[in-house]
Amino acid sequence: MNNKQGMYMKKVLFLIRSREIPSSRVRVIILLDKLKKKGYDVECQIYPKTIKNKFKLFKSLSAYDIVFIQKKMPSFIDLYFFSWLSKKLVFDFDDAIQLKHETSIKKRSRTAEQKFYGILKKADLLVVGNKVLESESRKYNKNIIVVPSVLETDGMPQKDYAVKNENFIVGWVGTVVNLSQLELLGDVFRKLSKVIPLEVRVISGERPNIDGVNLKYIPWTLEGQDKEIAMFDAGVMPLPNDSKHAKGKCGYKAIQYMAAGVVPVLSDVGSNRDIVTDNETGFLIDNIEDFYDRLKYVYDNPETAAKIGRRASEHVKNYYSVDAAVDILDKGFTEL
């Protein structure tokens, strides 16, 4: 397809699992408008479920210069058609999707692993969310780019450090499946509650199972989450140190907190150490118990917290914005 200047526009088909899934939203949907402005002819579809709709899709693949699959692991038969009929096949993922989540009884699925490694080998380009995933994937494919999960920083509500909250608000935002990670901090919150006026504020799809603390649950909405995050005094992201799945996560919570100018207090696991510079744009914690000291420090030192929060916000604008992600993706597409 040609634009008004007569230049050829690469036609890209993005296949996502759902428009409601966070990874589809932050790794594809919010990038589409900026990709159009870069000169791409983009189309976004839900990955089909029925055989009829799959074959309809397969028949259309040759019309696209690039087929971009976001996180969905195709079946072996689907992958055969994608690799045969796509001019260029791109696979994007932002965590260790071949592993089942730690809350499930069976943590590892052999079929999922085989499908995962199959598409890693067949793809013409891998788009991964962090350096941990890049390192793991390089065993199977050398053509890889790192595109962090990003957000639209323009118009993002900012924490107002001139206004002091009645309680010290420690916040967490995330999906229901990750609530067990927040619950790791139960003892820390109970200990903190004895020495400071603590409020644990949770933005999710369910209330967490944490007793003995002043906890406020806020049902998650796309429209309301940014304003609520900007009310936090600190944003936490606890992760188990011994989890391969956790090490592969992209630290999107950290980016959300930082974008709002909120001090991130994170487990020193996986990509968190790439996102945050300890004591400069947030805090990295070795052990769950040590969250107590850092959260107490943020409470005791509001001026330092404000400086860290503002540096964090500026860092996200420079490195984790939609524009930054689109520039990396554009370079990867151009070199295909």
List residues bridging with 324 in a β-sheet. none
Are 254 and 180 in a shared domain? yes
How far out from the chain centre does Cα 70 lie? 13
208 belongs to a structural domain = yes
Residue indicated by tokens 């309809």: 56
Give residue 110's pLDDT: 78
Q: How many CA atoms lie within 13 A of 159 on its CB side?
A: 32
Cβ atoms of 228 and 156 within 8 Å: the answer is no
134-141: which pairs have CB atoms within 8 A and are 24 or more residues apart?
Answer: 136/96, 136/248
Are 133 and 222 in a shared domain? no
CATH number at residue 93: 3.40.50.2000
Alpha helices (H) in 241-290, listed in sequence order: 244-247, 252-259, 272-275
User: For the chain, how many structural domains are there in total?
Assistant: 2
Q: Identify how many contiguous H helices and E strands the chain contains and give both numbers.
A: 15, 12
Domain of 116, in residue numbers: 11-148+322-334
Among 253, 248, 242, smallest CA distance to 270 is for 248
Which segments in the chain show pLDDT lower than 70?
1-7, 96-109, 242-249
The pLDDT tens digits of the residues spanning 246-303 come to 555 678 999 999 999 999 999 999 889 999 999 999 999 999 999 999 999 999 999 9
Question: Residues for the chain: how many in total?
Answer: 336
Give residue 5's pLDDT: 54
pTM across the whole model: 0.87
